[in-house]
Amino acid sequence: MARTCLITGGAQGIGASIAREFSLRGYNIVILDIDEEACQENKDYILQAGGNCVYYAIDIKDEQAIIGVMQELAESDVIIDVLINNAGISLQTPLDSPISTWDIVINTNLRGAYLLVKHGLARLKPGSSIINIASTRATMSEPDWHAYAAAKGGLVSLTHSLAISLGVKGIRVNAISPGWVDVSEWQKSSNRQSVKLRECDLMQHAVGRVGKPEDVAAACIFLSSDDAGFITGANLVIDGGMTVKMIYEK
């Protein structure tokens, strides 16, 4: 029986790559994403490649929408083998910005992940894996990214908390913190563009390049596999060495 991978924010960027990689490994794919155009485009790609995919165009800030999706999955007897909380929004929140902007970021990036686990738990069985896509912004910052940093830091903390709570149910919970990942060519076709990276951008990384969505997808494949059966509550940093490289002006 085919396994199922549910990915939030699975229509574009890192999430789209994750969805395609799991599909190639025989998983049925369930995408939750607010952008229906992008959902349909990624679904079509997966179907044309021989996979199976459904999507729900919902806003994961909406608790009732999540409950509705889980009810539909229950009616179809769908078991979620891998749940990937990837949906997120990047907005600066200077201290003079309205609190509504803070709420949008926190509720999408952190609260949404909590709601997915809360209402999806009945669809998860022993051996299932939850992966939260956090960020190196949990531990490093630029000015005015307060809500984003707080949400990603909270997601890392939520990960180890859930790992303890759900371990008794045989469910592993881990986080991945990507660094600089170029998603410009992983947008829906109407928004797709190429970005020219400078040499100094590449050399900020110990490996000499920025990340690709496929780098994160590969880590998700590993963390959800039996090879990672002794890993839970961990935060895997995937940043090409950017956060450990000291850079001095010359």
Three-state secondary structure readout of 157-203:
HHHHHHHHHHHCCCCEEEEEEECCECCHHHCCCCCCCCCCCCHHHHC
pTM of the predicted model as reported, rounded to 2 decimal places: 0.95
| 130 part of a folded domain | yes
Catalytic residue among 27, 55, 56, 148: 148
Residues lower than pLDDT 70 in the chain: 249-250
Phi, psi of 196 (to 5 degrees): -90, 115
Residue 215 near residue 186, CB atoms below 8 Å:
no
| 250 part of a folded domain | no
| 249 part of a folded domain | no
Q: What is the pLDDT of residue 249?
A: 66
Each residue of 37-77: pLDDT tens digit? Answer: 999 999 999 999 999 999 999 999 999 999 999 999 999 99
| 79 part of a folded domain | yes
User: Rounded CA gap, 209 and 182, in Å?
Assistant: 10
Domain assignment of residue 32, given as a range? 4-244
Q: What is the pLDDT of residue 197?
A: 77
Q: What is the pLDDT of residue 250?
A: 62
User: Rounded CA gap, 138 and 140, in Å?
Assistant: 6
Residue 158 maps to which CATH number? 3.40.50.720
Residue 36 near residue 56, CB atoms below 8 Å:
no
| 124 part of a folded domain | yes
Domain count across the chain: 1
Active site residue 148: yes
- Residue 122 DSSP symbol: G
| 123 part of a folded domain | yes
Which alpha helices (H) appear in the chain, and where do they start and end?
13-24, 36-48, 63-75, 99-106, 112-120, 146-167, 199-202, 213-223
